[in-house]
Amino acid sequence: MIELPLIPRPVTVDATGGSWSRPNAFRLVIQGADASTKSLPLEYFSHLMPSCTTVAVGSDASAHTHDISLQLTLRSNQPDDEGYTLEIHQQRAEITSSSYAGFLWGLQTLAQLLSHGTEIPNLVCVDRPRFRWRGMHLDVARHFFPVEFVLKFIELLSRYKLNRFHWHLTDDQGWRLPIDSHPLLTEIGAWRLESDGSRYGGCYSRDEVAGVVSHARSLGIEVIPEIDLPGHASALLAACPDLSCDCRKIDVPNSWGVFENTLCPSRESTYQFADAVFSEVADLFDSRYVHIGGDECPSGNWAKHTGCRDRMHQLEIKSASGLQGHFNQRIARILRELDRTPVGWDEILESGAPSDSVIMCWRDLRYAEQAVAAGHETILSPMSHCYFDFYQARDGEPKAIGGHLPLSRVYGFDPLGSELLEANARLILGGQANVWTEYMGNPEHVEYMTIPRVCALSEALWSDKESHDFGSFLKRLPANIQSLTRAGYNHRSLDKGSSGS
Ligand SMILES: [Zn+2]
């Protein structure tokens, strides 16, 4: 095993003897590309490697002494198998895999090798991920980020072999997803009046959403949209007040926190609305999973509403909060008809989660243990290790929401971090970090909070646990940060340290 500045660290890299100098300017010519690899983002890869002039497909390109030839070989067709083998000998490389994703991750490894140094050893690298869900979330509701940044963010995830982008598109402070059947959701719900009197907001067009989904797909990433219901719904209710218990007209809030405004779970119109919204979501997104939120939902308004109390009586539900279980079952039924699987925050366990729902645990491991005990597939995203809105050091940092999450703790994240979870490993899909943006007003700040922590997350989720070594990771990190800087990403300086753990 030789040590190269690769993140995440591959399962094995063995030197096969000798090395060669990367040409100062080279073309990467791909052979063996077929229908399964036709969506490889060639231009993206040519920009990824600083000395690369072109990534071209096919043998028609006449051979050139500075070409690096890359052969792609499909082993068998197993789309869920993300493993790959990369062999490099002089200026010839071969990636063997059973899937598009495997080719893509092999190419990312090759790109890192060609970007991080000029002397390239001949080698064989055998690699596969530890977890199948390696996710990153971005909240575009608290602050809105233009589509150009969303695409750049997704490209960052692909570099580090993360394969799920959880797009938090709706919340109290903004609704960002265009819904043709309910145009007021964005006409009203995408905009708020700030305390200084300025109007803040924005939303995506359907074309922009489609562009994100297809670019992500070409980069090996599934986009999971989140429509947060029935709480965190103020922007929705500003546009559609008839869907709340008291039908009161409200404004889109301009402050943070948990709001009393919730969808009324007793009205049929609520489910007609959800049906219309999720039908359009299913048109826009090709992911198997759709996130339905379910977090931090107060039930105070439900307890006061005659319609909700009648519904509780009819369903023999004892406390108003139990209505959320009824609500979630109805939403899950809508998604089932659309052939989608619901994902919800761990609160949905409290009132009886739909049997086919995946639980995303953001509080502590107890909830993940509850989820697997009830037989749910589960994703670990605990605040303790995965909240990138937390401070990166105890002092000297820009204002954040709170908490303390240094790089070393992200690196130590283990989705199988208890005996019970380990025993139920087959139900643990993987892990994810979350970027809530209450205190991140622009893309540069999101990047500051994400890099380098995303590198630690990548290795925690991809590499075998036995290979984890924070000291080695820190040695491999600077070359990666240099590449990211060249590509125009902001980051937190490695020299700042993380003071404490
Ligand atoms: Zn109600």
- Rounded to whole angstroms, the Cα distance separating 214 from 217 reads 5
- Give the global pTM: 0.97
- Rounded to whole angstroms, the Cα distance separating 55 from 281 reads 34
Which pLDDT value is given to residue 65? 80
DSSP state of 358: E
CA of 311 to the centre of ligand 1 (A): 9
CA of 102 to the centre of ligand 1 (A): 49
Q: Which residues pair with 342 in a beta bridge?
A: 290
CA of 420 to the centre of ligand 1 (A): 38
Give the domain ranges of the chain.
Answer: 12-127, 147-336, 358-493
Which pLDDT value is given to residue 501? 44
CA of 269 to the centre of ligand 1 (A): 11
Q: Taking a C-beta distance cutoff of 8 angstroms, is the pair 103, 142 a contact?
A: no
Active site (annotated) includes residue 404: no
Active site (annotated) includes residue 171: yes
DSSP state of 435: -
Q: Which residue has the tokens 């369903």?
A: 315
- Rounded to whole angstroms, the Cα distance separating 261 from 241 reads 10
Two tokens, residue 362: 């953001």
| Average pLDDT per block of 10 residues along the chain, 501 residues long | 90 96 93 89 93 84 82 90 97 96 97 93 97 98 98 98 98 98 98 97 98 98 98 98 98 97 97 98 98 97 97 96 96 98 97 96 96 98 98 96 97 97 98 98 98 98 97 97 96 79 44
- 147-336 and 358-493 in the same fold: yes
To which H or E segment does residue 270 belong? helix 268-284
CA-wise closest residue to 432 among 321, 336, 346, 338: 346
Two tokens, residue 34: 């077929």
CA of 351 to the centre of ligand 1 (A): 17
Q: Taking a C-beta distance cutoff of 8 angstroms, is the pair 243, 224 a contact?
A: no
Q: Which of 260, 275, 296, 464 is catalytic?
A: 296
Residue partners of 230: CB distance under 8 A and separation at least 6: 262, 263, 265, 270, 294, 297, 324, 327
CA of 357 to the centre of ligand 1 (A): 24
CATH class for the region spanning 12-127: alpha beta
- Rounded to whole angstroms, the Cα distance separating 19 from 89 reads 8
Task: Write the single-letter amino acid at 107.
Answer: L
Which pLDDT value is given to residue 36? 85
To which H or E segment does residue 71 belong? strand 67-74
Cis peptide leading into residue 230 (ω within 30°): yes
Q: Taking a C-beta distance cutoff of 8 angstroms, is the pair 458, 163 a contact?
A: no
CATH code reported for the domain at 358-493? 3.20.20.80
DSSP state of 188: T
Two tokens, residue 278: 């999720």
Q: Cβ of 347: how many Cβ atoms within 10 Å?
A: 21
Residue partners of 210: CB distance under 8 A and separation at least 6: 284
Q: Which residue has the tokens 């992911």?
A: 287
Q: Reduce the DSSP state of residue 156 to 3 states and report it.
A: helix
CA of 327 to the centre of ligand 1 (A): 11
CA of 314 to the centre of ligand 1 (A): 14
CA of 184 to the centre of ligand 1 (A): 22
Cis peptide leading into residue 452 (ω within 30°): yes
To which H or E segment does residue 147 belong? helix 147-159
CA of 234 to the centre of ligand 1 (A): 15
Pairs from 95-100 (Cβ < 8 Å, separation ≥ 24):
95/70, 95/71, 97/72, 97/73, 98/74, 100/36, 100/37, 100/39, 100/220
CA of 297 to the centre of ligand 1 (A): 13
CA of 356 to the centre of ligand 1 (A): 26
Q: Cβ of 423: how many Cβ atoms within 10 Å?
A: 12
Active site (annotated) includes residue 305: no
CA of 268 to the centre of ligand 1 (A): 11
CA-wise closest residue to 6 among 157, 129, 163, 125: 125
- Rounded to whole angstroms, the Cα distance separating 388 from 390 reads 5
Q: Which of 94, 171, 346, 438 is catalytic?
A: 171
- Rounded to whole angstroms, the Cα distance separating 307 from 299 reads 13
DSSP state of 23: P
Domain 147-336 fold is TIM Barrel (3.20.20)
CA of 128 to the centre of ligand 1 (A): 49
Q: Reduce the DSSP state of residue 13 to 3 states and report it.
A: strand
Q: Which of 232, 326, 376, 468 is catalytic?
A: 232
- Rounded to whole angstroms, the Cα distance separating 2 from 14 reads 6
Strands 119-127 and 12-21: antiparallel
